[in-house]
Amino acid sequence: MSFWFWRGLQKGVQTTRYPRAYENAAGVTPGRPVATQFSSAHEAALAAQVCPVGAITPQDNSARVNLALCIHCQRCHFGDEPVMEWRSDYEWTRLPDTQQRYEPLPKAYKRSLHIIVVDAGDCGACLHEVKQLNTPFYNMHRLGMFFTATPRAADLLVVVGPVSENMRVPLLKTYEAMPNPKKVLAVGTCAISGGIFGQSFVSAGGVSSILPVDLEIPGDPAPPLAILHGLLVVTGRKAPVGHESASERSS
Amino acid sequence: MMVTPAPLTAPKKLEIEEIAAAVRDRFGPAVLVSRGQGGVVLSVSLFEPTTHPPISKMLFWDMGCSFGGIVVEELKGKWRLSYLFLSAGCGWVEVLVEAPSTVSALPSISSEVHAADWHEREAEDLFGLRFEGHPRLGDFILHDQMWPEGVAPHRKLHRELIDVHQEHFRRRPNSEWRPLLVVQDPGAFAMPVGPIYEGGLGQSVHFLLETVGEDVVRAVPRLFYNFRAVEKIAEEQPVSRVLLLAERFAATSSFAHSLAFCLAVERISSTQVPARAKNLRILLSELERLRHHAGAITGICESTALSVATSQAAIIEERLLRACCQFTGHRYLFGLNTPGGLRRDFSAESCTELLKAIDRAVADLHALEDGLYFTSSFLDRLEDVGIVDPDKARDLNFVGPVGRASACSGDLRRDCPYEGYETYQFEVPREIEGDGYARLRILFQEAYQSARLVQQATHRLEPGQISAPCEPLSGGVALGWAEAPIGPALHWLRLDASGLVERYRVMTASFNNWLGFRVAVEDFAFQDFPIILATFGLSPTECDR
C-alpha cells in the first residue's frame, strides 16, 4: 500500500508552469483558425465556402473567423487549398458581444475561487476538459481554484452545452442558488451559440438566452488550458482577448 | 483472486439459411422471409403484428441472437418498424412490422425480450405509438414535469411543434409532479442524486435511490437531461451536416459514431473504401478505445478515493489525449471521418511517434494495474460489488465491456466485422464474475488489445488513396455499425431521392446498458453506488442523444 506514495514521488512534477510561463507542450491545444490573407478575393471566398457552419466570412482578400460558431471540424485546416491559417494558442477567453466593459471578481477572490459546473446538454468533451483541471498536468488547486458540490458555496458557474430543454430548469435553479457576486462562464462553442445543435425545440442555442453570461471560451471542446485561462480572467489575473491593455493599466 | 473463466460452451454458430428455415418452419404462412438490404442479411416481414412477440422470443432466446434496437420510421402513410437482432457470425436479422399510419397501438415484445423495454418507451414518447402489454409507458425522454402529454415531436405531422417559437418552449415546470415511488415499507424514503452532482463534474443524470436505510432497494435512473433530438434535427439535412452531428453528440466515442455513420452512407452509395483508409480507421478506432479505457480506469480509481492511482491514471489519459491531438490535430478525434474514407492522411513519422506514445501508455497501464491488484483496500471496494450475473446480463442484453465482464462476449469487431477487422489478430476478453473487479480487468485487457491492434494497423499501411468519391447520393437505406469503446454503435440512415436525410436513427450501447444498470445497484449499500457507477462507465449523453 505504501508503494503508492513512493510511486507518486517517482513520477516527479508533471504540472504545467502556466500561467507563470507559456505552456508549449505538443497536443495541449487543437489550435484555432485565424484571419487569413489570400492572394485574391476569389481565394478568400473559396476558403470561406469550406466552413460548414458559416464561421468564416470573406472580406476583400482576407477571410475572418467568428470563433463563436467554429466547431473545430478542421475542414479549413486539412483540406483542399486554399486553407486558413491556424494558430496553436489557447488564451481565447473573451467578453460576449453584448458586453463592452470587463469587470473581474473582487480582489478577495483572486486566490480563492469556488466553481460549480453544469452540464447542460454537453457531448462530454467540454465537461471532460473541465475535469482535466483537477489532474496533475493542470492542477488548478495550486492557483486557489476549487470545484464545489453546492451552488451555495460557488462564486463561478461554468456551463457547458447548448442548454437542453430538460436541463434549463436545473441550470436556472443553480444560478439562483448562488450568492452574489457571481459570474457565469460559457465554455465551448455549444454554450456560446448552440454549436452544431443550434436552436431547436429542445436546445436553447447557447447559455446567453437563459442567463447573463460574463465571459465565454470558444472551442469544440475548449482545451484545459483555455479553460484555465478563463478562470484566471474571472479572478482578474489575466485579461480577456482584446482587453490586454486595459488590464495592464489597472495592474 | 483471479479466476479463469470456465470454458462455457460457445453458442452454436448458425448459418443465415438455418435461421430462415427455422422461422419459415414455425411461422410459415404468417411471415415473408427474404434477403435484407443495406447491411441487414435477413428480413422477416410480418403480415400480422401479433405474431411478433413469439418470433422475437425465438430469435433472442432460441437462436441466441442479441438485440440491437428498434427503428421506427414514418413513411408515406405507414409505419415501418424494424427490430434488429444480431446473430453472431452471420449478421443482422430484422423483423419488419408495417402498419397504416392510422394505427396507434402495436403489440409489445418487451415481456419476451426485456432489452426492448426502453426502445418501446422511447418510441411511445417520441412517436406516440402505444405498445400493448408494456408495463410502463410515458415519462421517459420528455420528462412529465416539463412536457404535456400527447407531444410526439418525432412525427412528421408535428412539424409545427418543433418550432422554437411555440409557447411550450420556456414553460415553467409543473410543481404538482411527483416521481413514482414503489418501496412502501415503514421508514422507506427516496434519496435523489443529480442531475447536477459531484460539483457538476458528472454528466447530467438523475437517480432516485429508494431505500429503507442502508441498502438501495430500488434504483431508477432518470436520463435524457441532455436530450438534443439529434435524430430529429438531422432530418432534411445533407449528409455532410449530419456527419458533424454524428461526431458530436457523444465525445467519448465520437470516432466510432462517425465511422458507423460513414459506413451507412457508404453502404447506400456502394462506395469501396481504399485499403489505406480502412486500416487507418481501425487505427483511430483503437486509439479512441485505448484513450476511453484509460479515462474509465481513472474514473474507477477516483470513485474509490485512491488519489495517487487516480493521478497516475489521469496522467496516462492526458498523455493519450495529447498524442491524439499531435497525431490528428484534435484531442477527441473530431473531423477525421468522411463518407468514402478519411479527410486527411498521416505520415510514417507521425505514426512512429504515435506508437511511441502508445508503448509508453501500455507500460504505464501495466504498472498501474500491478499496483491496483496489490492494493487490498481498493479491491475490497470492487470485488463482489455491483454484481450482474451472466443470466441477468443475457436477459437484459448487456453489451460492451460491461457485458463482457458478465460472460456476454459479444463484440461487433469479431461477430460482424467491418473495415477488415476479420483480418486482424486480437482477443475479446471475457470474465464471468460480473462484479466491479471483473469490469476493471476487462478495461485493462481491452486497452492492451487496442494497443496491439494499433500496432498491427500501422504495419499494414501501404501508400495509397485515403478516400474514394462518395457522390452523388440518391435514395436508399442502410445500417452502419461499429464497436464503440462502450459497446455497439448502430446508425440507421434513410436518404431520400435528393440525397437528404429522411430518417436517422442512432442506437447506442449506453442506451442499452443504462436499462440494466439498476440490477447492479440494487441490494448494494449506498456507499457502493458511485463505485458501481464508475465501473459501468456509461455515458448519459450518448444515451440521451
Give B444's pLDDT tier (boundaries 50, 70, 90).
very high
Q: What amino acid occupies position A13? A: V
- Whether residue A197 and residue B227 make contact (CB cut-off 8 A), yes or no, is no
- Whether residue B228 and residue A162 make contact (CB cut-off 8 A), yes or no, is yes
Tallying the residues shown for chain B, one arrives at 545
What are the Cα distances from residue B399, in Å, to A132, B405, B497, B512?
A: 28, 10, 35, 7
Indicate whether A13 pLDDT > 90. Answer: no
Output the average pLDDT for chain A: 87
Q: What amino acid occupies position B142? A: L
- Whether residue B371 and residue A3 make contact (CB cut-off 8 A), yes or no, is yes
- Whether residue B318 and residue A135 make contact (CB cut-off 8 A), yes or no, is yes
Chain B window 287-306: which residues touch A at a Cβ cutoff of 8 Å?
295, 306
Contact A127, B201 (CB under 8 A): yes
B153 contacts in A (CB within 8 Å)?
Answer: 201-202
> Nearest Cβ partner of B335 from A73, A135, A223?
A73
> Nearest Cβ partner of A164 from B162, B227, B367?
B227
Q: What is the pLDDT of residue B325?
A: 92
Output the average pLDDT for chain B: 85
- Nine cell digits for residue A184: 457565469
What are the Cα distances from residue B173, in Å, to A80, A165, A168, B121, B144?
A: 50, 11, 10, 22, 9
B458 CB contacts (<8 Å, ≥6 apart)? B283, B351, B354, B355
Q: Distance (Å) from the C-alpha of residue B226 to the closest C-alpha of chain A? A: 4
Give A216's pLDDT tier (boundaries 50, 70, 90).
very high
User: Count of alpha carbons within 13 Å of B313, Cβ hemisphere only?
Assistant: 29
The residue ranges of DSSP E strands in B137-215, in sequence order, are 189-193, 206-211
B342 contacts in A (CB within 8 Å)?
Answer: none
B314 contacts in A (CB within 8 Å)?
Answer: 132, 135-137
Pick the most confident of A165-174, B443-452, B531-540.
B443-452
Q: Distance (Å) from the C-alpha of residue B229 to the closest C-alpha of chain A? A: 7
Indicate whether B342 pLDDT > 70. Answer: yes
Q: What is the pLDDT of residue A249?
A: 40
- Whether residue A3 and residue B146 make contact (CB cut-off 8 A), yes or no, is no
Chain B window 358-397: which residues touch A at a Cβ cutoff of 8 Å?
367, 371, 374-377
B227 contacts in A (CB within 8 Å)?
Answer: 121, 164-166, 202
Q: By percentage, how much of chain B surpasses pLDDT 90?
A: 25
A47 vs B255 pLDDT, higher one:
B255
Q: Distance (Å) from the C-alpha of residue A169 to the closest C-alpha of chain B? A: 8
Q: Compare all CA atoms of chain A with the CA of B314 and give the residue at the minimum distance.
A: A135
Interface test with B, best of A28, A202, A207, A225 (most B CBs within 10 A): A202
Contact A122, B250 (CB under 8 A): no
Q: By percentage, how much of chain A surpasses pLDDT 90?
A: 28
The residue ranges of DSSP E strands in A60-107, in sequence order, are 62-65, 85-87
Per-residue pLDDT averaged across B525-536, rounded? 85
B196 CB contacts (<8 Å, ≥6 apart)? A116, A118, A119, A170, A174, B204
3 state SS of A102: coil
Q: B343 CB near a chain A CB, below 8 Å?
A: yes
- Whether residue A124 and residue B200 make contact (CB cut-off 8 A), yes or no, is no
> Nearest Cβ partner of A118 from B200, B228, B325?
B200
B321 contacts in A (CB within 8 Å)?
Answer: 27, 132
Interface test with B, best of A15, A80, A88, A123 (most B CBs within 10 A): A123
Helices (H), A92-185: 125-131, 165-177
Q: Compare all CA atoms of chain B with the CA of A74 and give the residue at the minimum distance.
A: B335
Give A245's pLDDT tier (boundaries 50, 70, 90).
low
Q: What amino acid occupies position B346? A: F
Q: Compare all CA atoms of chain A with the CA of B310 and give the residue at the minimum distance.
A: A135
Q: By percentage, how much of chain A surpasses pLDDT 70?
A: 96
Per-residue pLDDT averaged across B437-453, rounded? 93
Per-residue pLDDT averaged across B45-59, rounded? 82
Indicate whether A158 pLDDT > 70. Answer: yes
- Whether residue A71 and residue B248 make contact (CB cut-off 8 A), yes or no, is yes
Q: What is the pLDDT of residue B162?
A: 57
Whether a cis peptide bond, with omega within 30° of 0, leads into A30 is: no
Q: Distance (Å) from the C-alpha of residue A73 to the closest C-alpha of chain B? A: 5
B139 contacts in A (CB within 8 Å)?
Answer: none
- Whether residue B202 and residue A164 make contact (CB cut-off 8 A), yes or no, is no
B155 contacts in A (CB within 8 Å)?
Answer: none
Per-residue pLDDT averaged across A111-131, rounded? 91
A2 vs A165 pLDDT, higher one:
A165
Q: Distance (Å) from the C-alpha of residue A245 to the closest C-alpha of chain B? A: 32
User: What is the distance between the terminal CA atoms of chain B, rounded to a whole angstrom?
Assistant: 39
